[in-house]
A and B are shown apart, each in its own frame.
Chain A
Amino acid sequence: MSKINHSTTERVGVYVCHCGTNIAGVIDVEAVAKWAAEHLKDRGVVIARDYKFMCSSLGQELIEKDIQELGLTRVVVAACSPHLHEATFRVACQRAGLNPYLCELVSIREQASWVHTDKHAATEKAKAILSGGVERVLHHAPLDPLHVPIHPATLVVGGGIAGIQAALEIADAGFPVYLVEREPSIGGHMAQFDKTFPTLDCAACILTPRMVSIGSHPNVTLMTWSEVTNVAGYVGNFTVTVKKKARYINTDLCTGCGICQEKCPKKVIDDTFEAGLGYRKAVYTPFPQAVPKYPVIDDVNCTYFQKGTCRACEKLCPTDAIDFKQEDEIVTLQVGNIVLATGYDVFDARRVAQYGYARLANVFTSIEFERLSNAAGPTNGNIVLRDGVTVPQTVGIIHCTGSRDRNFNNYCSAICCMQSLKFAHLVKERTGATVYNFYIDIRTTAKAYDEFYQRVLDEGTIFVRGRVAEVTDAARMPNEEGKLIVQVEDTLAGRQRRIPVDMVILSVGLEPRRDSHEVAKLFGISCSSDGWIIEKHPKLDPVATMTEGVFVAGCAQGPKDIPNSVAQGAAAAARVLGRIQQKEIALEPVRASVDESKCSGCRICNGLCPFNAILFHEDRMVTEVNPALCQGCGTCVAACPAGAISGTVFSNEQIFAQMEGLLLHNIERPPMTEGVLA
């Protein structure tokens, strides 16, 4: 590569941040600033300063003052990642009258000081990075953000407590909400529970009023037994396709009287709501307080659909609401924002074969126990063994089943400790049984949680610290016969123990929905390798996603309890409302555009765009990029064989100039040392 030899008339200001000792602890920032002033003088640098915290208001004022007094036309800040403070410095430039896109932030923290220990080499690298930034900014052009209108309606996906909360907040604020739920009723997992920790509120008592509000809210359009099948468009203007699965019930006529359920002769195990522990009919509402009240006919199990006979429900329905001819309906919605609250699945306990679930009758999962202890559950809340009658005298509760385990999930499922403590309390209260809790650590970190732990301790639950090796029915001694034996290393007593119990409850962890990757793809967002939806920032933006206009709430983002799910649902709603109130949104003008005269119509770029922003004009045989959809990722720019696509802020000229700068081809005698290359 030849040295850059063209001259510049721009006036560039360079600002090197100490970031306390984050940068200055490794990089000699003063030397970097001094070097820039001296060696990049020919490249338009008229001032180079270092400052303790460039992002502070004093730091920003420094830049603003220089713009006004020295007539800077370009600004380069060498500090942290643009993810953090690009906006800060752009706004500062704007305040001083400089177009914000004439400011470039280069990272010498994440890309230099934090990742190197050799101070000299890191300092040299910082100089190179800075030099690249200066060359790049010379090729910047003033840009204006794109303004797009925001459609006032919102789509909420998932009718668990997080989705309900988000939908109600938005609807109460006066804006329309579409709530789409896959199951026949909203309510989610919370509707399955009997009590909620740590206050032992009845779950139904606190949940069902919210469900009723959703059902009757004038601003909420509830679509249960429905799934989103396609999402097109962009923030402010999404077009969402929803498949409303055939209910085979005419909801205009149905009164929810329940006669069809009562008369239906086909009984099947309810794997969803009853967690396999109870039965439902082929026509059913999952539970009495279901919202909406209309049942669905499960055509896989319905005798009429399978054999062509029966029709008992049709004959007996007092309002003729049964409609076997109903078909799936496709609905298209226009929304401005989307909240994903798709929830979780529970860990499949069969995977931990040594705990015997599905082999040993009296090993239950936590979700089964929720139904067992629920007054509306299959046993009317009687805690009994799988024979349906025997009350256990000894119960073992195993924490962390499938969680904090490198064979299954490494993460902590966050709710299992409190859930297990709740179970211990319920078992004690209802049966008086001896209860053992087998735990690794007790994690009771939220408000009033540890007090609940103390309460359960005081009630006499026995806590054994150790990961259970095995649950077996293989007795070694006659006194173990007929029992389940929990083999555990008691790490506090320092010995192996065998504890015979009548019932074992596996506190199974939370897992992402089995289809979370497909859902993420549908909405154009990403999942972690585990399958949890990735938030925009783990601390500072936990409800947004990297895709504008798509927010996340509840366990879809990671395991959390009810209070946190509700808080995140409300937070997502607040973000959506903020957007709606703005009426329009300014989009980053970082966009790709196609030079039609160069486009050969090869369509190589067409399939590559992750945001579906590329459209092809068959008549003219050219490709166009929709600037409102384009997120400026640059994939198409790189792929175009004709060089017909360029990205604003990422044009070839800018990239090449930055590379020249990085390689220090822009100065006469590069002070490169071996340390930099090594």
Chain B
Amino acid sequence: MTTKLLFYPGCSLQRTARPYLDSLVAISPLIGIELEEIQDWNCCGATEYIAIHHLASHALVGRNLALAAQQSNGTHTVMAACSACYLNLAKTDSYMQVNAQLNRQVNDALQAGGLHYQPGTVRIRHLLDIIVNDIGIEEIRKQVVRPLKGLRIAPYYGCMIARPDRDNRWDNVEHPLALDKLMKAIGAEVIDFPLKTHCCGGHMTQINMPTAYELIRRLVYGAAQYHADLMVTLCPMCQLNLDAYQSEMNRHFHTNYHMPILYFTQLMGLAFGLEPEVLGLGKEFVNASQALSRIGIEVPAAEPELEMVEDKPARKKKEKAGLPMPQMLHSEEE
């Protein structure tokens, strides 16, 4: 069965997060997703605009929603792969539902373009939510031909996907497990990453570099402490911050981390047996080829790596239980 989705790509997926888009397009037919891009979509307002011009930011999103509603044939689900896009679309839709004045103002603005949006018409969802909750872990497992055995990954959700959880989609907003489960299903070894919903720095990289460096450092340091081979993310901004600014961060702190940051769709594609090239691998700044070669996946050489191999901190010793540990509820089999 195919799940048809109205796809809102957002600006990142066209440029900096191109590997995210490529890998999504590559895996979609395998997991039964049919993407229909919303025609003539515009900017979602990213993270700043709502703080600068409240009404205009909602009107900006309102236009996307109106276009999506117009285009909906057979589906009312709008899917965004970018967490910021997802949050902005969902936010405007829900604010318009509860705030009649805003609803009126946004629709007044839309009228100039001959558009109208009835809030609640479309359902806005994140890609991960659809894959985990609609398609289901079992379906994903069926597609796996090359389990990522031995690849130790830190699942990183970022701040915008699970909070606020308007529709009760996530198991736990502070410590979600959806991505963990998905990564386990494709055979990876998943660490219990304590920083999974912490801040990636957001737009601090544009405003205040030292703050951004510190936030990036915490995450990379945390993942390295757990001896992760790489971090997996679902948000273009998280990926950009952690990947593109990692070497600058290293210079700033005189550290030497090498923590590749990949999209979860890229790893799904690898597990499904797709070639690294079609999944956009090799385009990341912090090269993942070394990590992936550990499990026998060769990524074609990109630009030569400048950084040195870091001294990895000692692997965290597993504490031998003297006293029994309490069991997690619904513990997943590894």
Contact = CB atoms under 8 A, between A and B. Distances in A.
Interface stretch (B52-60, B81-89, B92-100, B325-333): B325-333
A474 B324 contact: no
Given A353-B175, A476-B221, A387 B326 contact: no
Nearest to B171: A353
Contacts of A348: 329
A208 B222 CA distance: 50
B324 A269 contact: yes
A353 B174 contact: yes
B225 A350 contact: no
Nearest to B226: A474
A552 B325 CA distance: 36
Interface string B2-44: 0000000000000000000000000000000000000000000
A524 interface: no
Nearest to A472: B194
Interface in B297-330: 319-329
Contact of A354 (B174, B321, B322, B325): B174
A672 interface: no
A533 to B, nearest CB: 27
B69 interface: no
B172 interface: yes
B194 A358 contact: no
B294 interface: no
Given A350-B329, A359-B192, A277 B323 contact: yes
A474 B327 contact: no
A481 B225 contact: yes
A358 B322 contact: no
Interface residues of A, number: 33
Contacts, number: 67
A428 B280 CA distance: 57
Contacts of B319: 361, 386-387
A502 to B, nearest CB: 12
Contacts of B322: 384-389
Interface in A239-288: 269, 276-279
A222 B222 CA distance: 56
A379 interface: yes
A364 to B, nearest CB: 9
Contacts of A352: 174
A359 B174 CA distance: 13
Contacts of A473: 194
Nearest to B327: A358
B221 A386 contact: no
A356 interface: yes
A359 B328 CA distance: 7
B195 interface: yes
Given A356-B194, A472-B195, A361 B325 contact: yes
B218 interface: yes
A115 to B, nearest CB: 29
A356 to B, nearest CB: 7
A279 B324 CA distance: 9
Nearest to B196: A474
B321 A474 contact: no
A388 B323 contact: yes
6 contacts: A269-B324, A278-B324, A279-B324, A353-B175, A388-B321, A475-B221
Shortest Cβ-Cβ A-B pairs, 5 listed: A388-B322, A353-B175, A474-B222, A474-B194, A354-B174
